[in-house]
Amino acid sequence: MQITCLQCVEAACAKVCPAGALVRNEETGAIEVLANRCVGCGLCEAACPFGHMHFDTQLRLAVKCDLCGGTPTCAAFCPHDALEIR
């Protein structure tokens, strides 16, 4: 089974981020990467217990699921309707 970011309440990624680049979007509840604040240290990827923070070595930035601003594309695109948001 594939899981995606749990948007943890006490998110490890946000806790370790030294630049304040991981913040919760109060509307969607998702933890988002503020790309302009991210300094690309990679600590968040190492710290996320579920393997859902990703450090993009090309962009040299953290990237993660942000629930696509409330309407996740993964759910919309899933051919088997196996994904739904509740």
Partner 1 sequence: MTVQFTIDGLEVKAKEGEHLLDVARRHGIDIPSLCHHEAVEPIGACRVCLVEVRSGQKTTITTSCNFLVEDGIEVHTDTAEVRKHRAMNLELLLARAPKSDVVRKLASASGVTRTRFEPLAYEPLPNCILCELCVRTCDMLGHHALTTVGRGDKKRIGLPFNKPSDNCVGCASCLSVCPTQCISVKDTPTQRAIWGQKHDFILCKVCGAPVITKKHRDFAISEKGLPEDYYDTCEKCKQSAASKRFASVVW
Residue in 44, 8, 37, 35 with CA at minimum distance from that of residue 20? 37
Q: By CB under 8 A, is residue 1 in contact with partner 1?
A: yes
Interface with partner 1, residue 12, by CB under 8 A:
yes
Nearest residue to 39 via CA among 61, 58, 12, 59 = 61
Binding of partner 1 by 8 (CB under 8 A): no
Q: Cα(81)–Cα(25) distance, rounded to whole angstroms? A: 26
Q: Which of residues 13-72 bind partner 1 (CB under 8 A)?
A: 15-16, 18-21, 34, 36-43, 45-54, 60-61
Q: 73 in helix, strand or coil?
A: helix
Q: How many residues bind partner 1 (CB under 8 A)?
A: 31
By the criterion CB under 8 A, which residues form the site for partner 1?
1-3, 12, 15-16, 18-21, 34, 36-43, 45-54, 60-61
